Amino acid sequence: MSVTEPIDIPLRWIDDETPARLPLGATLGVPLPRGAVADAAELGVRADGDAPVAGQAWPLATWPDGSVKWAGIALAATDAPSAAYRVTARPAAVRPEPGVTVREDADRITVGTGPLEVAIARTGESVIESVAVEGGVVATAGRLVSSRQDRPEPDHPGRVPAVGVVERAVVEQSGPVRAVVRVEGRHHDAAGRAWLPFTLRLVFIAGARTFRAVHTFVWDGDPDHDFLSALGLTFRVPLRAASVDRHVRLAGADGGVLREAVQGVTGLRRDPGAAVRAAQLGGRATPPPDEWEHGVADLMKWVPEWPDYSLRQLTPNAFSIAKRTAADRPWLHVAHGTRSDGAAYVGDTGGGLGIGITGFWQSAPTGLDIRGADSDEAELTAWLWSPDAAPMDLRFYHDGLGEETYAEQLEALEITYEDYEDGLGSATGIARTHELEVTAYAATPALAEFASDAGHVARGPRLSATPEALHAARVFGDWDLVSREHPARAGLEDRLDRIVDFYLDQVEQRGWYGFWDFGDVMHTYDADRHAWRYDIGGYAWDNSELATDLWLWTMFLRTGRADVFRMAEAMARHTGDVDAYHSGPIAGFGSRHNVQHWGCGCKQPRIGSAMFRRPHYYLTADEHSRDLLVAQRDVDRAYRGIDPWRKARPDEFPPPAPRLERIMVGLGTEWGTLAGGWLADWEITGDARSRDRLLGTMADIGSWPRGFLHGHARYDLERGRLVEPFDGVDVSHLNAIFGLVELCAELVELVDVPGFREAWLEYCRLYISTPEQQRAALGQEITGNLFPQWHSRLLAYAAAHDGDADAARRAWEAFSAGGEVTPVDLGPGRRVLPPEVLAPVDELPISTNDAAQSSLATIQNLALIGDRLR
């Protein structure tokens, strides 16, 4: 046994209700004490009553001593999930029956889950060669398809179709409960162009007839000439039964389902009989023709077949469904509604295929198509970008306004807060990830079964360690559990809830949805227009400014709220993909807040910070988030492509010479980001380069006379060390508010690097100390130390570690001074009604900067010096 102390981690359903079934099992991550577990295989899962459950455990991250820090846990599919589970150090002697099997040969990878078998190509245009359930093939030729055109206006004749071609397929995980296959490739057109690189992860769970497809593409086109007009995943579905026994299911809103047959028998002038009608409505084989009443079987040749169906969700609030009898016939309107759950099925009594897109309406324009259901093979397509939408237009939103020089660009910054620079508002290199579910049916599903599966696509159940277990593990810095033990604390807890509730509501009220926007929030409000400043330079989309991601994740950790988790997860998907570059010379850097997520000319590493992404990976075991974290180990190489300080370098700190050897970095926004990436890579992969750069630069800071108070230094790209610290004290209000507080709280507990702990404590003691204390310690007062409320948590950290009651009192006083624009007492808020606005909206006197930073300060102060609150 390689477990050195008791392990008992309770798990809960974040929605506080037990799901009726788990068609895709459950996957999550759990934290473990340092030194306690040497091998994740020693972990087991138990249900209520201590009954062992078939599970799979693997390491997500390790402690410096090599023990497991975070473990991934997977549970098999089941129709009877437990109300709760526990992860223990008692491996369950239970294997899934059947378990996941993986077979590899030169041409394909074949994965079986028991009821399901899927063949995945290693090369070629058919990513998924076949899908079989209970021995019967229900789909073939699973392909990624796209089209583009050279102009933004709808131009169907000018579209150039392309298909995703597999270049590499590897097994990342091979069971027994969970298997993952990673497929990589690019889209190819008839002219020979290869573009739009993609990664498609296929996730399989023991006992499941559903598998998950996680699709990511990187935009590598020319925004001025390439306009993506369609992107989807399509399958061929064999059909063998008569048209009256071929069936279509389309998910509407709130569990609604459109149920139709390719050739209907209901509503006709002559009634075939109740048995026939009931069979067709139930998706079962209709009785033989000689059992039909009123001669209807002979008259069916006059009843048209409807082989083509389309569901379009072109906006987040409206979908429409249409069908037609042939490609050269008009579409007949069937229905319309609000927000489709985003799932479709086509098949017959011998089986068929269902497909759905998670976040379907939130990611509009999307779509679902069924074609040729009157032939031997229907085509089922899930559109990530609907072919009926206007082509994707990623051009920069204005013409530059004559901003040609740095002086002009800095002057424009003074009015619009936008750091424009020609060529740096490009979307080339950004990414987008979608999750899909593909379900194989041995027969046409009953209405309730399909509705349940569609509901799972839209909002699947989630298991998580309880807030108490996460808190006991001391993960992600300083926070504690919700407590309302006395009025002052209860008031701060109410304030935290009110702010996060306000933003949850704003997402809905303001419609922060859409293909490129879903997951982000806006930066600053315009009280005159009663609107967020969506059209004003750097005031629009937030792009992780001031650690919005960390605020939401920390709120989830301490509350366990499902709505907060889902908002944080959407933000992790968005900000990790859309706001950062994943290819090109500045891969790893991201774009500061702007009207367009990629629009600002200020490109910095802080936007793609691993500190913002770690919670999602460790809580969910999501492989794509792992990719983003590991990629951050090389973010320093982007400095060879751009100098983030080119417009803002102080005169007294000359440019590095040469720039590509030693570049200037801020110790907060930049070193903190680099260090977060190295930490993530080291604990995930064990990479020695990342470890050495992290520990080496920590030692550098610890060796300087003024540590973090130097503010800036040069970073030696080749050696991975900090050199030549700024000769003096240079404090910026930006240094600590992009994850540095959370990072250093972890680092000082994780590793003992000489001088580093004291350097961080000294920064925390002095940032908002008295002028007399600053002069005594530094020989001068600190300037640039703005926003005392946000930074009160620095003094709280020092007070807690020093046992300094006076510092704790001063920290709470600084907190009470208020934030950027927000009073501690938020007041009653305001409801604004038409005609002042298009629709009723709520207003609160807060910016997203304040929402994130004042909330983090509240949480950390309560954790560190909550006992000093009066």
The pLDDT tens digits of the residues spanning 631-674 come to 999 999 999 999 998 887 644 344 444 456 889 999 999 999 99
Q: Is the pTM of this model over 0.75?
A: yes
Do 389 and 283 fall into the same domain?
A: no
Nearest to 32 by CA among 72, 75, 74, 92: 72
Q: Extract the tokens encoding 1.
A: 């046994």
8 Å CB contact between 577 and 525: no
pLDDT band at 365; cut points 50, 70, 90: very high
Q: What is the mean pLDDT of residues 102-122?
A: 98
3-state secondary structure of 564: helix
Cβ neighbours for 357, distance < 8 A, ≥ 6 positions apart: 342, 343, 363, 366, 382, 384, 434, 435, 436, 457
Percent of the chain whose pLDDT exceeds 90: 93
Domain holding 279, by residue range, is: 264-303
As to burial, measured by CB atoms within 10 angstroms (0-12 exposed, 13-18 middle, 19+ buried), residue 827 is exposed
CA–CA distances in Å: residue 870 to residues 812, 862, 865: 9, 11, 11
**Rounded CA gap, 448 and 454, in Å?**
10
pLDDT digits (tens, 9 = 90+) for 36-59: 999 999 999 999 888 999 999 999
Strand runs labelled E in 374-491: 377-385, 431-441, 463-465
**Rounded CA gap, 391 and 575, in Å?**
23
3-state secondary structure of 54: coil
- The pLDDT of residue 657: 44
- Asked if residue 475 is part of any domain, the answer here is no
- The pLDDT of residue 159: 94
**Rounded CA gap, 385 and 501, in Å?**
31
pLDDT band at 818; cut points 50, 70, 90: low
- Asked if residue 473 is part of any domain, the answer here is no
Would you say the C-alpha torsion 784, 789, 794, 796 has a positive or negative sign?
positive
Q: Tell me how crowded residue 153 is: count the other CB atoms within 10 A of its CB.
A: 10
Give DSSP secondary structure letters for 488-509: HHHHHHHHHHHHHHHHHHHHHH
Backbone angles phi, psi at 193, to 5 degrees: -75, 135
Backbone angles phi, psi at 279, to 5 degrees: -65, -45
Do 293 and 371 fall into the same domain?
A: no
As to burial, measured by CB atoms within 10 angstroms (0-12 exposed, 13-18 middle, 19+ buried), residue 436 is buried
Would you say the C-alpha torsion 232, 238, 240, 241 has a positive or negative sign?
negative
**Rounded CA gap, 844 and 833, in Å?**
15
Count how many residues are written for the chain: 870
Q: Pick the last residue of a domain from 34, 60, 88.
A: 88
Nearest to 790 by CA among 834, 734, 748: 734
Q: What is the mean pLDDT of residues 566-581?
A: 98
- Asked if residue 765 is part of any domain, the answer here is yes
Do 711 and 750 fall into the same domain?
A: yes
The CATH code of the domain that includes 433 is 2.70.98
**Rounded CA gap, 201 and 216, in Å?**
9
Do 526 and 599 fall into the same domain?
A: yes
Do 774 and 840 fall into the same domain?
A: yes
Do 595 and 526 fall into the same domain?
A: yes
The CATH code of the domain that includes 495 is 1.50.10.10
pLDDT digits (tens, 9 = 90+) for 586-638: 999 999 999 999 999 999 999 999 999 999 999 999 999 999 999 999 999 99
**Rounded CA gap, 575 and 580, in Å?**
7
> Would the pLDDT of 703 be above 90?
yes
**Rounded CA gap, 705 and 713, in Å?**
13
- The pLDDT of residue 4: 64
8 Å CB contact between 58 and 30: no
Letter for the amino acid at 300? M
Q: Cα Rg for the chain, rounded, in angstroms?
A: 29
> Is the previous residue joined to 835 through a cis bond, with omega within 30 degrees of 0?
yes
> Would the pLDDT of 94 be above 90?
no
- The pLDDT of residue 692: 98
> Would the pLDDT of 834 be above 70?
yes
- Asked if residue 645 is part of any domain, the answer here is yes
> Would the pLDDT of 376 be above 50?
yes
Q: Count H helices and E strands in the chain, helices first.
A: 18, 37
Nearest to 12 by CA among 735, 619, 711, 803: 619
Q: What is the mean pLDDT of residues 535-554?
A: 97
Q: What is the mean pLDDT of residues 729-753?
A: 96
Q: Tell me how crowded residue 658 is: count the other CB atoms within 10 A of its CB.
A: 8
pLDDT digits (tens, 9 = 90+) for 397-427: 999 999 999 999 999 999 999 999 999 999 9
DSSP state of 588: T
The number of angstroms, rounded, from the C-alpha of 579 to the middle of its chain's C-alpha atoms is: 12
CA–CA distances in Å: residue 246 to residues 174, 259, 290, 303, 444: 36, 11, 19, 14, 8
Q: Extract the tokens encoding 682.
A: 């080291």
**Angle (nearest 5°) at CA 483 between 477 and 487:** 125
Would you say the C-alpha torsion 294, 300, 303, 309 has a positive or negative sign?
positive
**Rounded CA gap, 275 and 280, in Å?**
9
Q: Pick the last residue of a domain from 88, 117, 148.
A: 88
- Asked if residue 93 is part of any domain, the answer here is no
Nearest to 541 by CA among 557, 558, 562, 517: 517
H or E segment and range at residue 808? helix 805-816
Cβ neighbours for 414, distance < 8 A, ≥ 6 positions apart: none
Do 682 and 549 fall into the same domain?
A: yes
Q: What is the mean pLDDT of residues 781-791?
A: 94
pLDDT digits (tens, 9 = 90+) for 323-351: 999 999 999 999 999 999 999 999 999 99
Number of domains in the chain: 4
Nearest to 109 by CA among 237, 211, 28: 211
- Asked if residue 216 is part of any domain, the answer here is yes
Give, to the nearest 10 degrees, the angle between helix 671-685 and helix 623-631.
130
pLDDT band at 819; cut points 50, 70, 90: low
pLDDT band at 450; cut points 50, 70, 90: very high
CA–CA distances in Å: residue 340 to residues 265, 303, 517: 26, 29, 19
Letter for the amino acid at 478? D
Q: Pick the last residue of a domain from 55, 88, 121.
A: 88
**Rounded CA gap, 581 and 598, in Å?**
9
- Asked if residue 690 is part of any domain, the answer here is yes
- Asked if residue 471 is part of any domain, the answer here is no
- The pLDDT of residue 656: 46
8 Å CB contact between 214 and 624: yes
Do 337 and 224 fall into the same domain?
A: yes
8 Å CB contact between 113 and 176: no
- The pLDDT of residue 822: 65
8 Å CB contact between 107 and 121: yes
- The pLDDT of residue 651: 46
Nearest to 367 by CA among 233, 457, 262, 253: 233
The number of angstroms, rounded, from the C-alpha of 654 to the middle of its chain's C-alpha atoms is: 39
> Would the pLDDT of 67 be above 50?
yes
pLDDT digits (tens, 9 = 90+) for 506-522: 999 999 999 999 999 99
Q: What is the mean pLDDT of residues 140-152?
A: 97
Q: Tell me how crowded residue 258 is: count the other CB atoms within 10 A of its CB.
A: 18
Do 43 and 164 fall into the same domain?
A: no
> Would the pLDDT of 157 be above 90?
no
Do 622 and 682 fall into the same domain?
A: yes
Backbone angles phi, psi at 669, to 5 degrees: -65, -30
Backbone angles phi, psi at 153, to 5 degrees: -70, 145
Backbone angles phi, psi at 195, to 5 degrees: -155, -175
**Angle (nearest 5°) at CA 578 between 512 and 529:** 30
- The pLDDT of residue 821: 54
Strand 26-31's sheet: what is its strand order?
26-31, 68-75, 55-62
Backbone angles phi, psi at 553, to 5 degrees: -65, -40
Q: Tell me how crowded residue 666 is: count the other CB atoms within 10 A of its CB.
A: 23
Would you say the C-alpha torsion 739, 741, 745, 747 has a positive or negative sign?
positive
- The pLDDT of residue 97: 84
pLDDT digits (tens, 9 = 90+) for 522-541: 999 999 999 999 999 999 99
Do 215 and 298 fall into the same domain?
A: no
Do 557 and 678 fall into the same domain?
A: yes
- The pLDDT of residue 156: 73
Nearest to 69 by CA among 743, 631, 676, 682: 682
